[in-house]
Amino acid sequence: MDVSMGLWVATILGLSALIAVDFFIGRKPHDVSIKEAGTWTVVWIVLAAMFGLGLLLFGETQASGEFFAGFITEKSLSVDNLFVFVLIMAKFAVPSHLQQRVLLIGVLIALVLRAIFIAAGAAIIASFSWVFYIFGAFLIYTAWKLIQEARADEPEEEFEENRLLKSIENRFGVADRYHGTKLFIRSNGKRILTPLMVVMLAIGTTDVLFALDSIPAIFGLTQDPYIVFTANAFALMGLRQLYFLIGGLLKKLVHLSYGLSVILGFIGVKLVLHALHESGVHVPEISIPVSLAVICGVLIITTITSLIASKKQAEREAAAAAEAGDGIEKSPKDSVGA
C-alpha cells in the first residue's frame, strides 16, 4: 500500500485525537462499571471495523484484509496480556478507582514503544529478507513454549519487576503510599515517584516483552508498516476497557494459551514459507483470506471449549463442596448414634 506522508500525519493526528477523547472521558478517577467498559469496548471495535472497511472502500482490498487479520491477531494476543496486567495491579495494590488511569497511561507508553519496534522491524525487513526465517522460527518456538506452559498447569505466579523498573525506582525513590493521581511528589526536598507512576511504567515496559512475539506475528501477515502500526494502535487503545469488561472472564479462558499457540505456530509457518518463496524456492504461500479464516476459527473454537471446560470444572467443584457439606452434617449424627 502506497502511503503518503500526508496520510501518515492525518492518521497519527486522528489516533491522537481519539486518545485525547479517551483521556478526557477517563480524566476523573472512578470505578469503571461493566456498562461503561462494554460501551467503550464496542466503540473501539466499531472504529477499527470502520477503518478496515474504509481501506476496502478506497480500493485497498489487500490492505483491508491484512488490517483485519492483524487487528484480530493483536487483539487476541492483548487479551493474554491482561493476565499479567491483573498480576501487576495486585502486586502494587492499585486502588480500583485509579486502575483506569494506570491502564490509560500504561497503554499509551506501550503504543509509543511499539511504534519504535515497528519502525525498526520494517527497516530490518526492508534490508534483510532472511529475517523472515528468524521471525518464523521464533514464533514456532513461542507457540511450543506456550503449549508447554499450558500443559504444566502451574499455579499463578506473582509479578516480578524487571531490571529497568528496579533501576528507575532506585534512582528516583518511591513514595510509601498513593497520592491520588500525582505521579511525582516532593519528600525531604527530593522529587520522588509515586506508586502510581511506577505501576504505569510497569504496564508500559512489560508490554515490550509481549511485543517480541506480537510484532513478528503481525509482520507475518503483512509487511506494510502502515497496516502494522494501525492494527496495533486499534488493538491497544481498546485494551483499557477490555480489562474491566472481561476481568472476571479471564480465568474462564482456560484454553486461550492453546489457541494462541496454534495462531503463532500457523503464522510462524506462514513466515517460513514466505521466506522460502523469497529465496526462490517454489512453495505454496498462505493467502490473507485463509489466514483470517484460520485465526477467527481458532479463536472461536478456543473460546467455546474454554467456556465448556470452565463450566464442567465449576460443576465438579460445586459437587465436591456439596459432598463435603453432607459429610460435615452427617458426622455429628454418626457420633451420637455411636
* Cell digits of residue 318: 460445586
Whole-number Å distance between alpha carbons of 134 and 136: 5
Q: Which residues contact 150 (CB under 8 A, 6 or more apart)?
A: 255, 257, 258, 261
Q: Are 88 and 201 in contact (CB under 8 A)?
A: no
pLDDT at position 338 is: 47
pLDDT at position 146 is: 80
Whole-number Å distance between alpha carbons of 331 and 310: 32
Identity of residue 200: M
Whole-number Å distance between alpha carbons of 260 and 267: 11
Chain centroid offset of residue 302 CA:
16
Q: Are 143 and 265 in contact (CB under 8 A)?
A: yes
How many residues are listed for the chain in this entry? 338
* Cell digits of residue 227: 497496516
* Cell digits of residue 29: 478517577
Q: Are 122 and 33 in contact (CB under 8 A)?
A: no
Chain centroid offset of residue 74 CA:
7
Q: Are 142 and 264 in contact (CB under 8 A)?
A: yes
Question: Residue 213: helix, strand or coil by DSSP?
Answer: helix
Q: Are 172 and 193 in contact (CB under 8 A)?
A: yes
Q: What is the pTM of this model?
A: 0.76
Identity of residue 310: S
C-alpha closest to that of 217 among 160, 279, 299, 132: 132
For the purposes of burial, counting CB atoms within 10 Å of the CB of 114, is it exposed (0-12), middle (13-18) or buried (19 or more)? buried
Whole-number Å distance between alpha carbons of 63 and 66: 5
Place of cell 487479520: 69
* Cell digits of residue 321: 463442596
What would you report as the CA-atom Rg of the chain, rounded to the nearest whole angstrom? 23
Per-residue pLDDT of the chain (338 residues; tens, 9 = 90+): 778 888 899 999 998 888 888 777 766 777 777 788 788 888 889 999 999 999 999 878 889 999 999 999 888 887 777 777 877 887 888 888 888 888 887 778 778 888 888 888 888 887 777 888 888 888 888 888 888 877 776 555 556 666 767 787 788 888 888 888 888 888 877 888 888 888 888 887 777 777 777 788 888 888 899 999 999 889 888 787 788 777 666 667 778 888 888 988 998 898 888 888 878 788 888 888 888 899 889 989 988 998 898 888 878 878 887 777 666 655 555 545 54
